[in-house]
Amino acid sequence: MKPEECNEIGMNCTEAFSTEFWTAISPELVMVIGLVALFIIPNLGNSKFRIPLTKLKIPWFLGGKRFAITGSPAIPGMLATATIFATLGMMAIDIIDGSVKTTTITSGDSILFKIDAFSRFFEILFLVAVLLASMATLDRIPAHTFKGKKSMDEMYDNRRQADLYILLLTTAIGMCLVALAQDLFVLFVGLELASLSTYILVAFHKESKSGAESGVKYFIVGSVASGIGLYGLSLMYLEFGTLQLSALRDAWSGTSTLGIIALGLVLVGFGFKVSAAPFHFAAPDAYAGANSPVAGVLATASKAMGMIGLIRVLVVITLPDSSGTLSEESAIWLYAIATLSVITMTWGNIAALGSTNPKRMLAYSSVAHAGYMLAALSAVGAWRWGEIDAPVDYAQAIVAAVLFHLFVLVAFKLGAFLVLGMLEMEGGASRLSALSGLARRDPLIGTAMFIFMLALAGVPPLAGFMSKFLVIAGIVSTSVGTVWVDGSVSFSDLHWVWWLALAMFLNSAISVFYYLRIGVVMFLDIPEEGRRKPLPYGASIRMAIWICLVATVILGLSSDTLIDMCYRAAESLDWD
Amino acid sequence: MSGTQALDIKNKEFMLVGGLLLIVAALMAFFPYMSSGDSEVDWISLPLVGFPIIVSCILLAFASQESRSRKEVIAVPIRLFTLAASLIPLAISTSLFFDWLIAVDWNLGYNEYALEKEYIWIETIGVSWHVGMDGLSFPMVWLTTFLIPVTIVTTWNEKDGATYHPLLLMMGGALIGVFVALDLFLFYVFWELTLIPMFFLILKWGGKDRRYASQKFFIYTFAASVIMLLGLITLYFLQPEGSGPRYGTVTNRTFDMRVLFTNALAANEGDGVFLGKDMQNILFAMLMLGFLVKLPAVPFHTWLPDAHVQAPTGGSMLLAGVMLKMGAYGMLRLPVALFPDALIFYQDIIMAIGLISLVWGAIVCLGQTNLKRMVAYSSVSHMGIILLGIASMQPIGYAAALFMMFAHGIISPMLFAVCGAFKHHYHSMEIGAMRGMAKWSPYLAVYMMFAWMASLGLPLLAGFVAELMLMIAYWHTYGWWILLPGFVLAITAAYYLWSMQRTIFEGGDEGQPPESLNGETPPDITTSENIGMIILAFFTILFGIFPFIALDMMGQWTHELFLTVFEGGGI
């Protein structure tokens, strides 16, 4: 589609690499510039380049003896944090007042990216998660520095510092690509960029033996899942001849066997990312092995990235369409996703009951949360049951609820991981007993952790309750639909997705067991030997935890702005 | 020298804590005038609900930053300020009743509320901060405001008072929130919020098995209330769409209870059935499940004895005094008033559950050797009476249920205060551990006898009024089945008298002090316990002799309920 034609049908289109293109993607560009800066700045030194055959030396600055200021070990972290913060600021300005300028970026006839409320919402989510993680790692990485009085050079491993932040930035860029992509292949490229970075980030936890092991595990399982997803994409291309979202949407037919097989295979790839059962086995190992802020990013941003894939494929492409032919086949995935959601949430919660490693427990709880979101997606699938002209608000409200859930998950799931990160700073958080007496040692951090646990369990009035409430309200609203006639309704008139809401509630009742256990251990038990003193200081990680805590409470008490934002994001998907 | 030093520290703490509280109080005093457009003062939101919760949060945050040794020092000012703060809601609720502050019209029709206030909270889904009181909720609100200071006084010497007493205050604010909420969402938020302070009270000040008991308490009630919440959400979406400030901008529906009652009333009128019979029955069952667990009724009662036995005295007093009533309150407020047809459908089942609770609780009491466990089971038994009142479908039965909630709310804290004093001074909870208490500690013996008598329904004490009214209502509906509850009341008398005989009397001239004291002379109760119990005893007598003080308001509410909902609904 040429920009001229595109503009004619009322879309704001830009050819890639044109002038408008650079303005449109300026926030993402900031990240790329920051990435380049991260390569260069720590390596600035007094090296000189001698022009061959002369004695003339030109200062070259890359290498040699590093300058004290730019070579400081604190620089990469600050640079990365500042970069992400700047990007976030540029994006937040136009989403908060709801006036995201929708821009479509094309290349030749195909649409590559689309900047709209939906993609901006997810970009902000990713950046907030990565920002918090990068803030938290400012203090965290040199775990042993707080004790000794070694020289700066000895304490910091400069190169390693830079690597971590480079990887965090590439993760963020990859995730943003996924959010923007309008072509399944572009989406896949972004997904892989983010995934490969996270594989290394998981293995980065060198203080523990399990770091490298879990990194490899995560990489192997992840690449198999990606491979399967890619195979699914190739089958989809074979069947429909395109990977463009808009074209696939028109071409999709639920009766094509090859199409359904392709859909199934693609879902495997995304299912791994959201850690839905039965593709979740690598998740607990990866989270337990990774250092906590990275595990937090995996559990929130990475999951949201997989969710984008699922929403794009399930809601945008294959949703029972408006052509008037509502058939069982067109919503073929409804039964599969509904079954998987119940299995996922139950499996996650029951496995979490038995795990004594807090990080594994949080990993399993994140599996359970994936189940809740899959349940919401199946309700979207059931949105048009019985009638073709059901108001689109129902479906939009559910998608908005999923977005809300993903967003607030950053506040309390990441926050919980950051608290574990503080415990890692003083040596390990892989046993439940590491948390014992936390509320006595550091009342504020202990209380924050307890509030995160309550939010995860869904206790009002915290953000976790609001998100669960909205998801369940969405499911119930679909199941009730418009059967309400003349004030009388029979229970059997409700759609069966109502039972998914019940399953969610029963599961959150089960989950209270293990969330409360953390609280009991923190408030009742006596601290372990060698852990009697208050926690190490760590100003920036504490600040990150505070941000999470305040967000958890505030987004629960006054959620209107965020709900509106989610709703606008959901509206900007292609619904008609 | 050291004495003056200690005094200095205390003075400093007093000033610090007092200054903080003054700022809060000043903000609170002005806030109602600033927030609402109309000139009427909001007597509920901040003074009764917000104030206790915010003050306790400040005190807790303040206390948590202090070291262990300093906590002992600051416990005194914090305790005093907590007591002072808890007296403010009591003063307000009392003066609202007597029209001292403003003239409140308590002569309300059905679905009319006094001191109603509404602020939009979550616009998108139609949630508003909507509060108000009527004849059903006001007695419970007053009871809560009354019990908080009494509990604080009774458990004045509890260890770690810097955090203990603020938690009691927070509990009070959350409980009042449940009773005044006129929005389903708000109701649920406070319903769950009450769990958190109670969880900590049991966890940090509880007995040996507190870890198990606190978690069981939390999970049990949480699991039941999520089912209730699903019922509420389904109910929400089964409402007709509307528009206006109360309605959600996304969902076009509202959580407002007033609108809900109006809809239900209109749909139930005559032969109409709100939502249809099938849906009514299912929603009724879902809501009742949440309330029955809280009440608690057999077979959902197993969390209660554990929670009570492990909880500290103050926790038990509030748990039995007000928290159990949340279940009964919720039943009368929501399922009974919304689904009268389903109530008829389930009438016999509710009666059976109530009867089983009554009988089972009483029989289990006979076999208990632990004093507190016995009292806990007696609560199960008494809560069964409320269910019988609801099942009787007689106005007098409903009034009896309401009065039972109120009377039990005064008597059961006294029972637990006696148990707590027993445990505190004799380090044992066994009924047989001490004999001849009357000789060693006459005060405790007197209070024990008084509380036990009040609980078994001695005439002229508050419990008797409720039981008598209930028996009349039950006779009207179920005829000779009355012999069963009548017999159970006899069992109640039996276990109370028997336990009294074993503790207060016997033991010969010298009595038999408990072994856990290792030969020391058993002490009598402290002054603070004495004050707390005498206040409770006074009100037990007051409401026994002049029940109409509270009963008038309850009778009015019952009358309106029967006239509008049941008769108007063709039942």
DSSP class per residue in A83-137: HHHHHHHHHHHHHHTT----EEEEETTEEEEEESHHHHHHHHHHHHHHHHHHHHH
| Among A476, A564, A565, the residue to mutate for chain B (most B Cβ within 10 A) | A476
Nearest CA in chain A to B124: A560
Nearest CA in chain A to B194: A460
How far is the alpha carbon of A448 from chain B, nearest alpha carbon, in Å? 12
How far is the alpha carbon of B397 from chain A, nearest alpha carbon, in Å? 31
Tell me the residue range of the domain where A512 lies: 3-144+152-571
pLDDT, position A158: 43
Beta bridge partners of B142: none
Chain B positions touching A447 (Cβ under 8 A) are 64
Residues 164-193 of B with CB under 8 A from A: 188-189, 192-193
Helix (H) or strand (E) holding B62: helix B51-64
Chain B positions touching A470 (Cβ under 8 A) are 125
pLDDT, average across residues A276-285: 88
Residue A477 to residue B237, Cβ atoms within 8 A: yes
Helix (H) or strand (E) holding A107: strand A103-107
Is the model's pLDDT at A552 over the cut of 90?
yes
| Among B215, B233, B275, the residue to mutate for chain A (most A Cβ within 10 A) | B233
Q: Specify if A576 maps to a domain.
A: no
pLDDT mean across residues, chain B: 87
Q: What is the pLDDT of residues B292-324, one digit of tens each?
A: 999 889 889 999 999 999 999 999 999 999 999
Question: Which member of B193, B204, B279 has the closest CB to residue A460?
Answer: B193
Helices B195-205, B161-180: crossing angle, 10 deg rounding: 150
Residue A560 to residue B123, Cβ atoms within 8 A: yes
How many of the other CB atoms lie within 10 Å of CB of B474? 27
At residue B217 the predicted structure's pLDDT band, cuts being 50, 70 and 90, is very high
Nearest CA in chain A to B232: A473
pLDDT, average across residues A450-473: 93
At residue B38 the predicted structure's pLDDT band, cuts being 50, 70 and 90, is low
| Among B54, B68, B125, the residue to mutate for chain A (most A Cβ within 10 A) | B125
Among A130-134, A427-431, A482-486, which is the least confidently predicted range? A482-486
The better pLDDT of the pair A340, B105 is held by: A340
Chain B positions touching A469 (Cβ under 8 A) are 229, 233
At residue B415 the predicted structure's pLDDT band, cuts being 50, 70 and 90, is very high
pLDDT, average across residues B1-26: 58
- Cβ–Cβ contact B521 with A under 8 A: no
CA atoms of B378 and B372, how far apart (whole Å): 10
pLDDT, position B501: 87
Cis preceding-peptide flag for B395 (omega within 30 of 0): no
Is the model's pLDDT at A466 over the cut of 80?
yes
Nearest CA in chain B to A560: B122
Question: What contacts B116, CB < 8 A, 6 or more positions away?
Answer: B130, B131, B132, B182
Residues 382-441 of B with CB under 8 A from A: none
Q: Which two tokens stand for residue A411?
A: 């506040």
pLDDT, position A156: 42
The better pLDDT of the pair A46, B468 is held by: B468
Helix (H) or strand (E) holding B133: strand B127-133
Is the model's pLDDT at B516 over the cut of 80?
no
Q: What residue type is A133 in one-letter code?
A: A
Q: What is the pLDDT of residues A207-262, one digit of tens each?
A: 667 788 899 999 999 999 999 999 999 999 999 888 888 888 888 777 778 888 99
Q: Which two tokens stand for residue B211?
A: 């870890």
Burial class (CB in 10 A: 0-12, 13-18, 19+), A297: buried
Question: What contacts B33, CB < 8 A, 6 or more positions away?
Answer: B41
pLDDT, position B1: 37
CA atoms of A111 and A127, how far apart (whole Å): 24
Is the model's pLDDT at B146 over the cut of 90?
yes
pLDDT, average across residues A436-446: 87
Question: Which member of B189, B192, B219 has the closest CB to residue A516?
Answer: B219
Euclidean distance between the first and final Cα of chain B, in Å?
77
- Cβ–Cβ contact B37 with A under 8 A: no
Residue B124 to residue A564, Cβ atoms within 8 A: yes
Burial class (CB in 10 A: 0-12, 13-18, 19+), B41: middle
Cα dist. A70→A38, A539, B332, B438 in Å? 10, 22, 70, 83
Is the model's pLDDT at A144 over the cut of 50?
no
Residues 453-512 of A with CB under 8 A from B: 454, 457-461, 465, 469-470, 472-473, 476-477, 480, 484, 487-492, 494, 498, 501-502, 505-506, 508-509, 512
Is the model's pLDDT at A155 over the cut of 80?
no
Tell me the residue range of the domain where B308 lies: 2-567
- Cβ–Cβ contact B255 with A under 8 A: no
Q: What is the pLDDT of residues B270-298, one digit of tens each?
A: 788 888 888 899 999 999 999 999 988 98
Question: Which member of B122, B204, B226 has the closest CB to residue A560?
Answer: B122
pLDDT mean across residues, chain A: 85
Helix (H) or strand (E) holding B280: helix B277-294
CA atoms of A117 and A123, how far apart (whole Å): 10
Helix (H) or strand (E) holding B127: strand B127-133
The better pLDDT of the pair A289, A254 is held by: A289
Long-range contacts from B247-251, C-beta under 8 angstroms, 24+ separation: B247/B126, B248/B122, B248/B123, B248/B124, B248/B125, B248/B126, B248/B127, B249/B123, B249/B124, B250/A393, B250/A397, B250/A400, B250/A563, B250/A567, B250/B124, B250/B125, B251/A397, B251/A473, B251/A477, B251/B124, B251/B125, B251/B126
Residues 120-149 of A with CB under 8 A from B: none
Residue B229 to residue A505, Cβ atoms within 8 A: yes
- Cβ–Cβ contact A550 with B under 8 A: no
Is the model's pLDDT at A489 over the cut of 80?
no
pLDDT, position A310: 92
How far is the alpha carbon of B259 from chain A, nearest alpha carbon, in Å? 15
Do residues A373 and A274 make contact, with C-beta atoms less than 8 angstroms apart? yes
pLDDT, position B532: 93
Cis preceding-peptide flag for B514 (omega within 30 of 0): no
How far is the alpha carbon of B274 from chain A, nearest alpha carbon, in Å? 6
Residue B223 to residue A512, Cβ atoms within 8 A: yes
Residues 209-228 of B with CB under 8 A from A: 210-211, 214-215, 218-219, 222-223, 226-227
Residue B122 to residue A558, Cβ atoms within 8 A: yes
pLDDT, position B150: 95
- Cβ–Cβ contact B238 with A under 8 A: yes
- The backbone torsions φ and ψ at residue B218, rounded to the nearest 5 degrees and listed phi first, read -65, -50
Is the model's pLDDT at B206 over the cut of 50?
yes
Do residues B462 and B447 make contact, with C-beta atoms less than 8 angstroms apart? no
Of B258, B242, B245, nearest in space to B130 by CA:
B258
pLDDT, position B166: 93
Is the model's pLDDT at A81 over the cut of 80?
yes
Burial class (CB in 10 A: 0-12, 13-18, 19+), B14: middle
Is the model's pLDDT at A61 over the cut of 70?
yes
Chain B positions touching A491 (Cβ under 8 A) are 278-279, 282
pLDDT, average across residues A56-62: 83
Number of domains in chain B: 1
Concatenated DSSP letters of A43-93: GBB--EEEPTTS--EEE--BSSSBPTTTT-TTHHHHHHHHHHHHHHHHHHH
Q: Which two tokens stand for residue B355?
A: 């009867």
The better pLDDT of the pair B171, A67 is held by: B171
Q: Which two tokens stand for residue B347?
A: 């009438």
CA atoms of A75 and A342, how far apart (whole Å): 46
Do residues A262 and A240 make contact, with C-beta atoms less than 8 angstroms apart? no
Nearest CA in chain A to B60: A443
Beta bridge partners of B183: B256
Question: Which member of B124, B188, B267 has the closest CB to residue A563?
Answer: B124
Tally C-beta pairs within 8 A across A and B.
124
Number of domains in chain A: 1
Q: Which two tokens stand for residue B261?
A: 């009652």
Question: Which member of B223, B227, B274 has the closest CB to residue A487?
Answer: B274
How far is the alpha carbon of B79 from chain A, nearest alpha carbon, in Å? 20
pLDDT, position A422: 87
Cα dist. A351→A34, A202, A360, B528 in Å? 41, 22, 9, 49
Largest CA distance in chain A: 96
Residues 125-154 of B with CB under 8 A from A: 125
Chain B positions touching A443 (Cβ under 8 A) are 64-65
Among A53-67, A352-366, A399-413, B183-197, which is the least confidently predicted range? A53-67
pLDDT, position A7: 66
On the CB side of B1, how many CA atoms lie within 13 Å of its CA? Answer: 0
Highest mean pLDDT among A134-138, A352-356, B119-123, B141-145: B141-145
CA atoms of A480 and B472, how far apart (whole Å): 43
pLDDT, position A345: 94
pLDDT, average across residues A131-144: 74
Helices A184-203, A303-310: crossing angle, 10 deg rounding: 160
- The backbone torsions φ and ψ at residue B567, rounded to the nearest 5 degrees and listed phi first, read -70, -40
For A481: left if phi > 0, alpha if psi spans -120 to 50, otherwise beta; the answer is left
Q: What is the pLDDT of residues B218-277, one digit of tens each?
A: 999 999 999 999 999 999 988 888 888 888 888 888 999 999 999 888 888 878 888 888
Is the model's pLDDT at B4 over the cut of 60?
no
At residue B25 the predicted structure's pLDDT band, cuts being 50, 70 and 90, is low
Question: Which member of A472, A512, A519 has the closest CB to residue B222?
Answer: A512
Q: What residue type is A574 in one-letter code?
A: D
Helix (H) or strand (E) holding B115: strand B114-122
Chain B positions touching A454 (Cβ under 8 A) are 196
Helix (H, G, I), strand (E, B) or coil at A388: coil
For A324: left if phi > 0, alpha if psi spans -120 to 50, otherwise beta; the answer is left
